[in-house]
Structure 1
Amino acid sequence: MDEFEALLKESFEIDTPEEGTVVKGRVIAIEAGQAIIDVGYKMEGRIDLKEFANPGEQPNINVGDTVEVYLDRVENARGEAQISREKARREEAWDRLEKAYASETRVDGAIFGRVKGGFTVDLGGAVAFLPGSQVDVRPVRDAGPLMGMKQPFQILKMDRRRGNIVVSRRAILEESRAEQRAEVIGNLTEGQTVDGVVKNITEYGAFVDLGGVDGLLHVTDMAWRRVNHPSEILAIGETVKVQVIKINKDTHRISLGMKQLQSDPWDAVEKMYAIGTVHKGRVTNITDYGAFVELEAGVEGLVHVSEMSWTKKNVHPGKIVSTSQEVDVVVLDVDASKRRISLGLKQAQDNPWDAFVANNPIGSTVEG
């Protein structure tokens, strides 16, 4: 009798758990798609089995398992405890995620759904929003391969009161990419020759992948000759041999060159193009003040408008020559240090004034 009274007294002294808290329970039965859980304190509750499953997975729970559940109400209309496994997981997840957010550490999660403007991510009980711009460093056309895959995320913003969490996958990729870039750049030296793959072509040059880091190959460093557009000599996906011209350790920018791997044609210009010699060339560009003539790949000279014709004065160069036309020119001056050659177009032709004077001396009568 004394033992019974002691047990009765002890049972009255047990405090009823506070509503809105997480408590431990034991699965005592599974029936009709629900798990019946004894949470102690002479209380049982029911939870749908789907609450024990991760997104895209089947529930994994058996009779006798101990689980943590969230106690919504001590007693509902049926006299049972109103409990939730999903809310318990959410509370546990929020506690864990708030610590990760405060310490700026990564969290593991899996993308499981698509919503307007982005995706939903399961962070082990808490659902976060992944904006479309934060999926990858470049726009992702097909996110199918990423769905359901466990991977790290960085928490950008969270508000427990509103239940909002915003995460980024891009921040993780950029961080690892930055580490990879630093490692690759650390192994490069100025003047080094490396192989790269053309990733992108713009008006001013091409971006070349050197194995985890991109370098800029400017259009002026592609060839010694004039290049109007990089697509003239390069194609996306092409493997090219380039030289590292300059490395900026602070900005991680790398300048590359292709022409530096070839001999500079200007080194032999003074020997090849002596003053007074006649050469064939191709008109590459026409301006108001003259025309540029290519003598060989990488070597261009200027025919000034005053050196174009013996008879035509104050005429635009485009009226005398046309682009891509082959012409004979005479070398008038060479300055290899400034990479300049002055050419004459009229000097390669007979001066009609000389013939006129020879045929018509002073005092003679002419018709015109």
Structure 2
Amino acid sequence: MASTSTYAPSREDFAALLDESYGQNEAFEGSVIKGKVVAIEKDVAVVDLGLKTEGRVSLKEFQGPGREGALKVGDEVEVYLERIENALGEAVISRDKARREESWVKLEKAFEKQEKVEGIIFNQVKGGFTVDLDGAVAFLPRSQVDIRPIRDVTPLMQVPQPFQILKMDRRRGNIVVSRRTVLEESRAEQRHEIVANLEEGQVIEGMVKNITDYGAFVDLGGIDGLLHVTDIAWRRVNHPTEVLTIGQTVRVKIIKINHETHRISLGVKQLLEDPWQGIEAKYPVDARFQGRVTNITDYGAFVELEPGIEGLIHVSEMSWTKKNVHPGKIVATSQEVDVQVLEVDPVKRRISLGLKQTLANPWEAFAEKFPIGSEVEGEVKNKTEFGLFIGLEGDVDGMVHLSDLDWSKPGEQVIEDYKKGDMVKAKVLDVDIEKERVSLGVKQLTSDPFAARPGEAAGAGAKPSEEGGSGELKKGSVVTCEVLEVKDGGLDVKIVGTEFTAFIKRNELARDRADQRPERFAVGEKVDARITLFDRRARKVSVSIKALEVAEEKEAIAQYGSADSGASLGDILGAALKAREDTPKGKKTSDE
């Protein structure tokens, strides 16, 4: 009988087989494996891993945002195996970690391909929100929630929606996502499609979505168009809220479409009749109308003649006399005013208006009341380097040029005698209505002393009267002078009865050198002298006492004899003096 032998493994063989079995199982640690739910005990699911061991997972890990349906026995699930056996002899497994690992693999692929991923906003944290990307938790910055800042994010939470991954770092476990990027992309596609179906000139309806100072944004069904404030109405609209309200439905015309930027310009007034058609016939030049002041600027005021038609009153056309005044001090907003049409430009859509033209022209009234040669009186309003400005009747200003202040003295010298506020009399020299100028003269109130007089050529030796009459002034005439000022070099004098002044030099004060002393004379004293120079062109007159004495001496010698006839010079002069004293007309007024 043959013997059979059986193999009995030794202790060492068993240990080797056991190590091999555990080694294979240990290879699954740290990975996701499949298992079957074999039992559900209270809040725990028992999962058979097929490795001669079982593990327990909390039922909460199978629940969460966007995951519905109850777990039941027999369901096959994927779990993350952390360790083969714990102190209780069970495997340590996790459904959350399995889902996270699985999600990271999918998310990395989506990130590489720039694909959108679905997630759920489930919590709010500092600076933003947390998003569940099917197990992986991502951060959603507040700035990436929407295209425009939104106050309440509650309606967006716990709702599955697409996101774009902006950044991933698996080592740190960081994921940053954006909802805004998805919206912008979707909006761009939508805008492109809508814009493609719109045409310039098309008339459509829209809803006023937002109002700003410069216009209103109108929703055209997925895309906004701008209705600028100047295209709301033909008349002036200071602010869109005067005409529009948010939520209002408006009928608009597409004025312009920019297919690159998707910007659409809209207009409402383009749907209405243009009031500028035939404007020249409606508002002819020189015609007068009534309007309402709508706007005031530094350069003038705008007046509405009818809805959609405005004209400008330039500041220069607002007042006849107020030249440097702000328009706001002449008219007020909403004031009704009478205006005159000055110019119409239908191409530039401009109407120039005048306010002063509807009022009486003060220059015409002045010229009618005060013709050239009239005497007027007014207050010195201003002194300038070229003359005086005098305030006259009717708010009209007249100017006295330096050359019209005095006949004999320089204007630069005479103007210093005037000050602002002085009342001055003057004569009207000229009125230029078009240039709005009145020329005045002060010296013209008196006659020009250098003007030629009738019969002046006759009578070479006229004598001065007691009252100081000037007689016929010319070279050789004898005149009476009043001493105005005594100086070391001579006397300032005025010819009595005239406006002439002259300076008698020291050596012209007497024939005898011993008597050529200015201190012999006093201010106010009157002396006789002879005119030695009378030049009308140069407007200059010179007088001399010495010349008069020499002339009288010659005349006396000729009349009463000479020294050769036996009479002394003293006798001759004495006789001449006695003869002069006996004649009132030739009486000297000096004390000598």
TM over 0.5: yes
Do structure 1's residue 227 and structure 2's residue 237 form an aligned pair? yes
Cα contact 2:66–2:160 (8 A) shared by 1? no
Do structure 1's residue 159 and structure 2's residue 169 form an aligned pair? yes
Q: Identify the range of structure 1 (232-241 vs 270-279) with the bigger mean alpha-carbon deviation.
A: 232-241
Which residue in 2 is equivalent to 1:133?
A: 143
User: How far apart are the structure 1 equivalents of 2:162 and 2:175?
Assistant: 15
Q: CA deviation at 1:330?
A: 0.9
Do structure 1's residue 193 and structure 2's residue 193 form an aligned pair? no
Do structure 1's residue 296 and structure 2's residue 306 form an aligned pair? yes
DSSP-derived class of the 2:281 partner: helix
DSSP-derived class of the 2:48 partner: strand
> Given the alignment, which residue of 52, 55, 58 partners 1:48?
58
**Residue identity opposite 2:276 in structure 1:** W
User: How far apart are the structure 2 equivalents of 1:274 and 1:304?
Assistant: 18
> Given the alignment, which residue of 200, 206, 209 partners 2:216?
206
Q: 1:137 to 1:327 in 2, by over 3 A?
A: same
User: How far apart are the structure 1 equivalents of 2:69 and 2:371?
Assistant: 115
Which of structures 1 and 2 has the larger relative contact order (alpha carbons within 8 angstroms, sep 6+)?
A: 1
User: How far apart are the structure 1 equivalents of 2:339 and 2:257?
Assistant: 42
DSSP-derived class of the 1:112 partner: strand
Q: Identify the range of structure 1 (156-165 vs 296-305) with the bigger mean alpha-carbon deviation.
A: 296-305
User: How far apart are the structure 1 equivalents of 2:323 and 2:149?
Assistant: 58
Q: Which runs of 5+ in 1 are unaligned?
A: none
Counterparts of residues 1-368 of structure 1 (less than 5 Å): 15-16=24-25, 17-55=27-65, 60-363=70-373
Q: CA deviation at 1:295?
A: 1.2
**Residue identity opposite 1:347 in structure 2:** Q
User: How far apart are the structure 2 equivalents of 1:23 and 1:304?
Assistant: 89
RMSD of aligned alpha carbons:
2.5
Q: CA deviation at 1:72?
A: 0.6
User: How far apart are the structure 2 equivalents of 1:267 and 1:11?
Assistant: 105
User: How far apart are the structure 2 equivalents of 1:94 and 1:283?
Assistant: 71
Cα contact 2:145–2:179 (8 A) shared by 1? yes
Cα contact 1:208–1:217 (8 A) shared by 2? yes
Q: 1:28 to 1:10 in 2, by over 3 A?
A: farther
Cα contact 1:135–1:169 (8 A) shared by 2? yes
User: How far apart are the structure 2 equivalents of 1:189 and 1:309?
Assistant: 50
Q: 1:41 to 1:319 in 2, by over 3 A?
A: closer
Q: CA deviation at 1:234?
A: 1.3
Q: Deviation per CA, 1:33-71: give whole Å up to 9, x if none.
A: 212222122121111111111238677222222211111
Q: CA deviation at 1:192?
A: 0.9
**Residue identity opposite 1:288 in structure 2:** D
Q: Which runs of 5+ in 2 are unaligned?
A: 379-592
DSSP-derived class of the 1:40 partner: coil
Q: 1:311 to 1:142 in 2, by over 3 A?
A: closer
Q: CA deviation at 1:357?
A: 3.6
User: How far apart are the structure 1 equivalents of 2:65 and 2:321?
Assistant: 87
**Residue identity opposite 1:263 in structure 2:** E
**Residue identity opposite 1:208 in structure 2:** V
DSSP-derived class of the 1:190 partner: coil
User: How far apart are the structure 2 equivalents of 1:118 and 1:176?
Assistant: 22
Q: Deviation per CA, 1:254-312: give whole Å up to 9, x if none.
A: 11111211122222210101011110011222233322222112222222222222333
Q: 1:275 to 1:88 in 2, by over 3 A?
A: same
The TM-score normalised by the length of structure 1 is 0.91
User: How far apart are the structure 2 equivalents of 1:261 and 1:185?
Assistant: 21
Q: Whose Rg is larger? A: 2
**Residue identity opposite 2:259 in structure 1:** K
Q: 1:272 to 1:79 in 2, by over 3 A?
A: same
Q: Identify the range of structure 1 (150-159 vs 347-356) with the bigger mean alpha-carbon deviation.
A: 347-356
DSSP-derived class of the 2:338 partner: strand
Number of aligned positions between the proteins: 365
Cα contact 1:135–1:170 (8 A) shared by 2? yes
Q: Deviation per CA, 1:141-199: give whole Å up to 9, x if none.
A: 33333222222222121111111112222222222211211111111101111111111
User: How far apart are the structure 2 equivalents of 1:24 and 1:214?
Assistant: 53
User: How far apart are the structure 1 equivalents of 2:192 and 2:95?
Assistant: 45
Q: 1:260 to 1:27 in 2, by over 3 A?
A: same
The TM-score normalised by the length of structure 2 is 0.58
Cα contact 2:298–2:327 (8 A) shared by 1? yes
